[in-house]
Amino acid sequence: MPSRREQIVMTPAEVDAFLGLPRTLNVATIGPSGHPHLVAMWYGFLDGQVAFWTFAKSQKILNLRRNPLLSALAEEGTTYATLKGVELVGQGRVIEDREQILAIGLSVAERHNGPAAASAEARPFLEAQAAKRLGVVIDVDKVVSWDHTKLGGAY
């Protein structure tokens, strides 16, 4: 049977729409032993690029400082016919600028917890969190996507 890969690839607009919804991103960096270090992260955007924030002393940051290679996966579906996903392959750029870190935190908060989470009232809490965190922007080299709903239930 010939490959049907080309039938399930998402268009750039479909990828943007998929990533635009609040999802969990499984982020893989390269750990000190060479094994993947895989963690689930909420994400937002900084200047249109997928980004997340994390504690400054986290293993992810240590890994990215040693080797910036990163893969990230957002997916959905509970049956083969409903599987959809986007893998971002590239490099994790560590962000140390406080305003950019806060911008990432605001984006993550609003996307996952609603507008009140990024309101003026919530800002002091987010600023306190930003003081302990760094940002990571994913500089994407390659996007891999799939949308099995395009197969119409046939395999």
Band the pLDDT of 155: cuts 50, 70, 90.
Answer: low
The domain locations on the chain are 5-151
C-alpha 26, offset from chain centre? 7
* Tens-digit pLDDT profile for residues 10-27: 999 999 999 999 999 999
**CB-based contact 8:150 (threshold 8 Å):** yes
Classify residue 152 by burial, with Cβ atoms within 10 Å: 0-12, 13-18, 19+: exposed
Task: Return the CATH number of the domain spanning residue range 5-151.
Answer: 2.30.110.10
pLDDT in tens, 83-119: 999 999 999 999 999 999 999 999 999 999 999 999 9
CA atoms within 13 A on the CB side of 54: 22
- pLDDT tens for 13-63 read 999 999 999 999 999 999 999 999 999 999 999 999 999 999 999 999 999
Residue 84 three-state SS: strand
